[in-house]
Chains A and B, each alone.
Chain A
Amino acid sequence: MSCVVVGSGIAGLSATLLLARQGLPVTLLEAQAGAAPLLRGFRRNGLYFDTGFHYGGGLERDGLLRRWLQALGIWDSLTNVTTEHSDIFHFADGPSYVLPSLPSSRLLEAMETQFPGSGAGMRALLDDMRAVLARSPYTNPLLRQESFYREEPMPGVADYLAGKALHPHLRAMLSIRCLLYGAYPKESGLREYAMAAGPYFESAGTWDGGGEALVAAFLKKLAQYGVQARCNAAVVGLEGAAKSGMRAVILQGGERIPCDCCVYTGNPRRLEQLLAPGALRPVFFRHIAGLPETAPPFILFAEEYDAPDAARNIYLLPSSEDENSIRPLGMPDPTIYLYRSGIQKGERRGALTAIAITSAGEIPGDPGAYAEWKRATRAALCGQIERRYPVLRGKWKVLDAASGATFRRWVYGCTGSMYGIRHDRTDVPLLPVTRIPGLFLAGQNIVLPGVLGGIISGALAVGFAIGHEQVLREFRICAGAE
């Protein structure tokens, strides 16, 4: 079986590694000039901006992300892993709170101190998320069963939290974790929340070099199997049909790479252009077209001097009265997330990233109008941040800004949204398998955004290609290894 993996983001890197480890010949294709452009991040003024990873959950002993990184043979390449990053919340109606990442007993204690009486609700949330994760062999290494996907009714996150007798500010703090995967608490289901946000409760952190180090570790591991990412290789066609199966991948310039297995991690909205007419049923493309997109981001990359506090993650939230608590720029007190990366002890300078969301359809197409819109949006966001997090005043300088339009240029096939397809509870999710034998789908659009979502998605696609038992073997071994 010869394999082609389209896209070198975290899902593509994971799928490639899992296929290569089976001794299969794999070609990894990337349309951009370098592998994993978003996950890798970039440097400006000597500061590293970790655009793809920021920080991850599930890094504790037996944590989900840690287990998968171990299973992939990547974990040992990562150094100085931190696991106790806290989220700080500043509400527009006054109070500030901390949501730490701690083992559950200490986490419950910390929340009880800030929100007396919240213990039972918090405990139920942690238990229910654990129960959700226990149901799939891709998130539970102890589970030995073939069925990995079951449709079960899942409550919406907002409804679920509303039923838990939690303090309104705490409810807003918990709801905001839907931002980790670009969803809204009302539309998102507890299943997605448990997988994307759940691992952050017990441990959240990073390692030296963040996303850049992760990409380097993957590429090094792939090189051991003789696989290198082929960059500047944009895919313009997928040759395959339901009867004949996957046949080849066509590159810009006309090169044809024969394969009988293709893991496509690009945007599924492009599949209709890539496949021959009639290769898949019209309803398949209508399904994709009907799925909603996450909101486009607006991001500031800044240099910070003499960081006023040591908080890594800061959320500026509207008042707790706003149940959904995720407000785009342009509304009063928009939701803003600030992230500090690469803080070195004793260093006066650090990288600060600020992320807000804009309304879809707001970005002007005309270059002149776009430049004006970007300048005004940047100024508005800076103003909001200085007003609601005043300790920053005079201590930061914005180096660059990125909008959904920047994302479109930066990440190939991106529609300009932060996380591609939004995973709403009532939508039928896209599956990793298609009607074309040998054509598998992976990436944030199929499972969930984030490094963990990407890894699991890559593993799931490979599981369908070569057998789930093969893929899960290492994941299960790691569970008992520590």
Chain B
Amino acid sequence: MQEKEIKDIVDAALADEFELDRASLVDDAHIREDLGLDSLDIVDLVIVIENAFNFKLEDRSKLAGIQTLGDLYRFIRDIYEHKSFVEK
């Protein structure tokens, strides 16, 4: 999957579910500090991402390293590259 396509799907899902302004969704936006998502939101975020891409993550432990939206896009790109997901 292309980077641009990933970004579009993630941004649309985030804007929709968390009522975030599309303009705030930039690569170096910090998910916690800039977008204001807390640890409970992160659980919702995982579900939003899984639903948007129609997969289930094989290994959620890697989520802990995600700080920025850019990290999140790269995380999803890696998942597709390594096929480390379960199809829903």
Which of A's residues lie within 8 Å of B, judged by CB?
Answer: 150-153, 281-284, 286-287, 290, 426-428, 431, 433-435
Total contacts A-B at CB 8 Å:
40
Query: How close is B24's CB to chain A, nearest CB, in angstroms?
Result: 18
B56 in the interface (beta carbon within 8 A)? yes
Report A262 CB to chain B, min CB distance, Å. 17
**Contact across chains for A286 and B47 when beta carbons are under 8 A apart:** yes
**Set B43, B60, B64, B86: member contacting A431, Cβ < 8 A:** B43
Contact of A151 with B63 in the complex, beta carbons under 8 Å: yes
Cβ–Cβ contact A426 & B61, under 8 A: no
Residues of B within 8 A of A431 (CB): 40, 43
- B60 in contact with A283 (CB, 8 Å): no
Which residues of the other chain, A, contact B44 by a CB distance below 8 angstroms?
281, 283-284, 287
1/0 per residue, CB under 8 A from A, across B37-74: the answer is 00010011011101100001111110110000000000
Q: In this complex, what residue of B is CB-closest to A280?
A: B44
CA distance A431 to B40 in the complex (A): 9
Within 8 Å by CB of B56, from A150, A286, A427, A434, lies A427
How many angstroms from the CA of A306 to the CA of B47 in the assembled complex? 54
Are B61 and A428 in contact, with the CB atoms below 8 A? Answer: no
User: What distance in Å separates the Cβ of A184 from its nearest Cβ neighbour in chain B?
Assistant: 14
Q: Are A435 and B40 in contact (CB under 8 A)?
A: yes
Given A151-B61, A287-B44, 16 more A-B residue pairs with CB atoms under 8 Å apart are A151-B60, A151-B64, A152-B61, A153-B58, A281-B17, A283-B47, A283-B48, A287-B43, A426-B57, A426-B58, A426-B86, A428-B43, A428-B50, A428-B60, A433-B40, A434-B40
Instruction: Give min CB distance, B33 to chain A, whole Å.
Output: 19
Q: Quick one: given A151-B61, A426-B56, A426-B57, are A282 and B47 in contact (CB under 8 Å)?
A: no
Q: Are A286 and B51 in contact (CB under 8 A)?
A: yes
The 10 closest A-B pairs by CB, nearest first: A426-B56, A287-B47, A153-B59, A151-B61, A151-B60, A283-B44, A426-B86, A283-B17, A153-B61, A428-B46
A290 to B43, CA, bound (A): 14
A426, A427, A431: residue with the most chain B Cβ atoms closer than 10 Å: A426
Alpha-carbon gap, A95 to B34, bound state (A): 63
- From A150, A282, A283, A290, residue with most partner B Cβ within 10 Å: A283
